[in-house]
Amino acid sequence: MGWFPCSGQSKQTPKNLRKKNKSLDPIEPSSGKYRDAPKDGSSNKIAAKTFTFREMAAATKNFRGESFIGEGGFGRVYKGQLECSNQVVAIKQLDRNGLQGNREFLVEVLMLSLLDHPNLVNLIGYCADGDQRLLVYEYMELGSLEDHLHNPMPSRAILDWNTRMTIAAGAAKGLEYLHDKASPPVIYRDLKCSNILLGEKYHPKLSDFGLAKLGPVGDNTHVSTRVMGTYGYCAPEYAMTGQLTLKSDVYSFGVVLLEIISGRKAVDNSKTGGEHNLVLWARPLFKDKRKFSQIADPALQGQYPTRGLYQALAIAAMCVQEQPNLRPMIADVVTALTYLSAQKYDPQMYPTQNPLWKPCTPPRSQGKAEKKRNGGGRSR
């Protein structure tokens, strides 16, 4: 959930500037029943409930350690239960000395109040009580995709191929909504495995919208902005120029898809020999289908469809093209992954793939072999 400049370097904000930035522009309180957002992406607002800090403390049992479930750039995340409704929720508390501040808090409240889609996390409300800043979300019981891929609990089963493709398709649909259905379009800017949360039946939802930006409109091709994001997921042209486009998100999605397929981290400093960066490691392997099986997550133990693996890697390879104009539109990615996720793999019906398997030269027909042994078919 944390983030930092894509260059991998982070400049600390002076303490005196942080103090000046404490005040938060007032957010108009809203109450009453929630109402659904229009599906066409128009800007009718969803009513987000306002909470007092006392209510937040009560929900988390005074932010006890037993309620703590995670930490990121925004601050700490707690599991809580609202006294007013008994609803189980996730509560993010802004770290006043952290990387994200009031600006990101406001962006997240406003974005999630305007956007509504089954693959975006639901904002239930917020707390702007004194100098306390908290966000209240629906609780996603299965945690993040990162937890399942890179920090699996012994009690949890490894994600199988079908589940991985379902998660990838759902995440792509959330991104498609931001790019194509929201008006104006929204550039997510921080797509990564830790920001994809999983609910019942591994239903994925995008979360953490503090870095989201409104996309270009009219004749504009990009938005110029300070380079922010997470190292390993940033598109190269954005990291170099600060020019942000919808295709920047597509690159980040390609990295996530590679993580889903391979089980590797986007950046893993424990690896050496050019393997620490996932995209740089995978690119040479994209050029030879015979090496595709080397990219597949060993945890799958060969239980995946060969054709499905090829197609998924082809999508990922297109998404992480260095030139943004060569990357596909997210709508095309959704179409391809929706098809892939519908092709259910049954390990009982198909043989387990051997990652060391290499295609051999097909045998010649018996007739040709006989002719060769007989001197090309000539009679003696």
Catalytic residue annotation: 190
CB 35 within 8 A of CB 47: yes
Report which DSSP code applies to 352: P
CB 304 within 8 A of CB 313: no
Sign of the torsion formed by the C-alpha atoms of 256, 262, 263 and 267: negative
Cα–Cα distance, 248 to 221 (Å, whole number): 12
CB 131 within 8 A of CB 23: no
Known binding residue 92? Answer is yes
Q: Which residues pair with 267 in a beta bridge?
A: 277
CB 174 within 8 A of CB 212: no
| Tally of CB atoms within 10 A around 207 | 26
Exposure string of 69-83, with b = 16+ CB inside 10 Å and e = fewer, is: ebebbbbbbbbbebe
Cα–Cα distance, 223 to 179 (Å, whole number): 14
Cα–Cα distance, 204 to 92 (Å, whole number): 19
Return the C-alpha torsion angle 247, 338, 278, 299, nearest 10: 170
Annotated binding site: 92
Annotated binding site for ATP: 92
